[in-house]
Each structure stands twice: as structure tokens, then as C-alpha cells.
Structure 1
């Protein structure tokens, strides 16, 4: 069972952390079938949605039948794997990991739903427009922003 981590890099101004909040946060991904290499259109998964896996093998956040080869595969968000992006650290940081069985995420698109927290703890809902978000923190009298969100997937070892 391969584990795949989603790593992101974010440029932010006057923000301490950026995170996906709530079990209903949707990760929009394109997924590659491990059997034939077919890549899906955009699909999403979140921790609230669960589907039974055939043969009584438990639950997954998404079960897919490949349109090309018909193989059934599944993917789940690993419990406890979601963490905030720490702006001070910078660079690529893993924000979530997936348990992938027969498929692999190959692209991620952030479509909003993130929360940005200032260094003083004030939270802002990030609504991306063309991949960027700008606002003004009245309490601190400074502009704030989240821009240049980049991502990559990395195969993880162990459980």
C-alpha cells in the first residue's frame, strides 16, 4: 500500500501559517490508474465521505473504477496526517498524506477553503482568485497575502 504525501510551497506576507480546516476540506486531484496509466479528470476527496471497498476490505474516502481498464482502486486521507503549512520554515512541506491502493494522485489544485493565521493569531478565510489571495488586517494595519502556491507529490516510506 503506497503512501503519497502532498507537499506545498506557499509565498505569504504577514501570515504565520496556512491550513486546510475541517474534515470537509476538499482535495481536488487528478489520479493515475496503477494498472493502465489512465489519468482521471478532476475529482475530489475529503475525510467526511467514506465508501465501502468491495469484498469487505473496509472503507476509503474514494473508490474509483478506471474508465479504461475497469480496475477498482481506492484512496484515503490518512488519519492525523493533516498539518498546517509553516510560513517561517518556507520551502516544500507536507500538509497531508494519502493511503493509495491501485492508484496515485498526480496533480492537485487548491480551490480555496484554506485558513490563513497571522502571527498574532487572527484567522482569515482564503478565497483564491487566479491562485492568489490578498486582504488587509485592520488590527495590525498591514496587508496580508497568500500567493504562488506550488505542489508536488512524494512517495513515503513506512506506515
Structure 2
């Protein structure tokens, strides 16, 4: 069992508190990333989607998980379970310092998460308090104008990494 903490960073211009629409533990937010098999090293061709709302029974034993998937190359069955409670919004201060902010913890058995894909369903607020909802980060950046603060706002240089945690 290995736990991977999804960490994100971005350059935030006149913005703060970047996070999924319903907060870091939003049950409806979908996480997309590729998986690498722990046995044969095969990388999934397509992104895999997991969310807190979607659970499936564990193949052997009691309980549930968020993903059970077989490797297309070696046939090994592996699981990914999401562990809420570790995420924090990416703030202006964290962005300016060049640091990463934790988003979600994944308990991966047999797989390693690789290449997180930013998509839709994000929210962020301007330094003046204007809220921007359903932000689409799939193009890699976001630009808008804050009428209240009379200034441009922008998200750019999106990065994500998976850190191994105990």
C-alpha cells in the first residue's frame, strides 16, 4: 500500500483560493490521471477518472474503493481509494512562493498515479472577493476580468505532482 498526495501549483494573478468547485473534498469533482502498473510498468493509454461519489466493492474482502481496474498488459487487478481531508486551496501566498498545495490523497494498491489532468469544475476568487465558478483549466490557463476590482485575473503555469506520503 502506497499513498500518493496530489499536489498542485500555478501562477495566480490577482487570484487566491484555487480549488475544486465544492471544496477540496467535493464528492462530485472528478480527478483524471494516467495509471502505471506496479507489476509490468505499463502506462494506461487513457486517463482514468475517480471521484468520491463513485464507489465499487473491493474484489476480495469487505469494504469499498473508488476504482478497481485490471492492467490491460499483465492482467493484474489493482485499486485506487481516495482519502479526503488532506486538501487545501492554492492561495496567492503559496503560489508566489512557488510551492505546491495538497489537493487529494490516494491509496493506490498495484498502481501508481501519473500525469494529473486539469479539467473543468474549479473555483477561485479575486483578491477583491469576486468569485469565479466552474472554471475550466483544461486548456492549461484561465484569464478573465474582475469588474469589482477593475483588474485582469489569470491562472497560468499549472503543474501537478504526486508525492509519496506515509
Same topology, TM > 0.5: yes
Greater shift in the superposed pair: 120-129 or 25-34: 120-129
Q: Structure 1 stretches (4+) deviating beyond 6 angstroms?
A: none
Unpaired segments ≥5 residues, structure 2: none
- 2:150 aligned with 1:146, yes or no? no
SS at match of 1:23: coil
Q: Supply the distance in 2 between the matched residues of 1:26 and 1:51 (Cα, whole angstroms).
A: 15
Q: Supply the distance in 1 between the matched residues of 2:137 and 2:106 (Cα, whole angstroms).
A: 24
TM-score (norm 2): 0.88
RMSD: 1.4
What CA deviation, in whole Å up to 9, does each residue of 1:32-84 have, x standing for no partner?
11111111121111110001111233111111111111111110211212321
The count of residues paired between Structure 1 and Structure 2 equals: 157
Query: Equivalent residue for 2:67?
Result: 62
Query: Equivalent residue for 1:128?
Result: 137
What CA deviation, in whole Å up to 9, does each residue of 1:1-47 have, x standing for no partner?
21001111100111121001331111110001111111112111111
Contact 1:8 1:152 in 2 (8 A): yes
1:155 pairs with 143, 146, 164, which one? 164
Contact 2:17 2:125 in 1 (8 A): yes
